[in-house]
Structure 1
């Protein structure tokens, strides 16, 4: 199988590696540069080193922002403002001397799960990333659904009531902010602390945790019955908690008991990949987008 350089661009660091014999090797990271010239220099150095050690046929990049694969432009906004709103993919190909594919980071993580993670063996899945906000990806027939405005998978925008979005109510970060404000004891609480307090019987923490679970379960129910996926895969830090899926299933069962015509429980799974997800997904995307560059990852 042909070698690929894979790069995961983040707000503070850029991870990289080479996919060689279907294994990630030569992994490393560098700080994210402050300007476009530094960005080009950092990525080009990564590719040149890979060329010295291997024989890569292309470069797959996981990036923040709304990647328009037709125009080569990263639309929207991110923590790296200088990469947006011009044809960056052709410029990178000039610097690298290799074909480049680029995909949004959440979509890359979903593609990794589809290829060889929690979604292996499926064709259709929803990937929900639970963090400061709620993001994710929609995959149908093995393909990412970007949508007309490249907002496919932006689940956090869904309204859960007259004014609160899923990102407002289904994020452990915002749950902790609400608890901190209501508790008003001079301390600052994070999501982990609020969940722990709820388990110990703190009434206010239990109330905020219920808001979190109900919002997330409602969103999963609505999305599941809209898309009818093979699986709903949950990612983000809180997804690793062993109590998350059992608790969400209890809340989903409450919804199913209320909505009598709904005949099945959504199948939930925890994301398999964590730190390597975007690198693996960037390789999957390259081989989907640039099939001349190599075989499909299995």
Structure 2
């Protein structure tokens, strides 16, 4: 009997990642297509179906090889009904029936979940989670996302918005505006965008000495990577920014740890590529604020799956739904 494949999809505002995986989570093929959010996002599911059919044809395979499709999408999701509640950058109106549309266009059973939740599921199944059934994943990228897994299941919340770690208030007074409409969210200090904002603010204070200021002067801008690289080299301004970022991140993660006591808290996203300089500093702050038994039993770790976490977690979604 022919082995069946699962389709995993990680939908982003600019690109959509797709993969064929085995039912044990091994990626067989992966590729990307541009995300077409024109015409109120009507082309998105059609383009995904077309991309799947074209890839099957190029491999000399037919649709019978596929058993189901899972997708991670940005924004809060009503998992039971497969509805995207609110997405600002894909053109869809509120309460968009994504699961239904995906099943119509692909002729496959589908499961839909928030993209950060899918990344958490991927890390649980095949990554840094190491099979831990109680896991929190925080993704530090352009924004800050999060996923909470208890007993092997994603915590949805009453309206699909559980796990929005990036919108925990880190700075209650005088915080920077966040895209969500609030101010002082963790996202405003711990995302790549937030780190650059903090560093630029330090440079504008007028202390133009040091490596970080020199990079700003030479390139006209700096990146989060510049901040971490300069901090590794002992640049005082970069170290100050690193300390501020990891103070807020460590405090938030300690409060999450005190509330949920997960086996692991996994830090992923592009910012996590900074590695040990980020992790060690966050651990220091976490240990300062975590309850004693949480400190002993909750491990902080860097994500290991990188950009594959989303498609792997999406595949796990439909595998779990179909009881494979």
TM-score, normalised to structure 2's length? 0.81
CA RMSD of aligned residues (A): 2.3
Given the superposition, is the C-alpha separation of residues 48 and 245 from structure 1 closer, same or farther in structure 2, using an over 3 Å criterion?
Answer: same
Q: Which residue, out of 265, 276, 289, partners 2:308?
A: 276
Per-residue deviation, 1:263: 5.8
Q: Summarize deviations over 1:198-237 as a string: whole Å, max 9, x none.
A: 3444433332221101101111111111000010011012
Query: Which piece of structure 1 moves more, 122-131 or 86-95?
Result: 86-95
The change in CA–CA distance for 1:261 and 1:71 in structure 2 (over 3 A counts) is closer
Bigger Cα displacement from structure 2, 47-56 vs 144-153: 47-56
1:39 to 44, 47, 50: 44
Q: Residue 244 in 1 paired to residue 264 in 2?
A: no
Q: Distance in 2 between matches of 1:89 and 1:72?
A: 5
Q: Which of 282, 285, 289 pairs up with 2:317?
A: 285
> Would you say 1:175 and 2:195 are equivalent positions?
yes
Aligned pair 1:70/2:80, yes or no? yes
For residue 82 of structure 1, the aligned residue among 92, 95, 98 is 92
Displacement of 1:86 in angstroms is 2.5
Equivalent residue runs for 1:83-232 within 5 Å: 84-163=94-173, 164-184=184-204, 187-232=220-265
Q: CA deviation at 1:69?
A: 1.8
Deviation track 1:179-202 (CA, whole Å, cap 9, x = no partner) reads 213313664222122233334444
**Paired position in structure 2 for 1:12:** 14
What's the CA shift for 1:280?
Answer: 0.9
Contact kept, 8 Å, 1:221 with 1:266, in 2: the verdict is no
| Pair 94,133 (structure 1): closer, same or farther in 2 beyond 3 Å | closer
Give the Cα–Cα distance (whole angstroms) in 2 for the partners of residues 157 and 144 of structure 1: 18
Tell me: CA distance 1:160–1:41, structure 2 relative to 1, closer, same or farther (3 Å).
closer
Are the structure 2 counterparts of residues 282 and 214 from structure 1 closer, same or farther at C-alpha, using a change threshold of 3 Å?
same
- Paired residues of 2:261 and 2:297 also in contact (CA < 8 A): no
Pick from 31, 35, 38: which aligns with 1:28? 31
Structure 2: stretches of 5+ with no match in the other structure: 174-183, 209-216
1:253-291 residue CA offsets vs partner (Å, 9 max, x unmatched):
3336xx778763631111111121111111100022232
The corresponding residue for 2:296 is 264
> How many equivalent residue pairs?
290
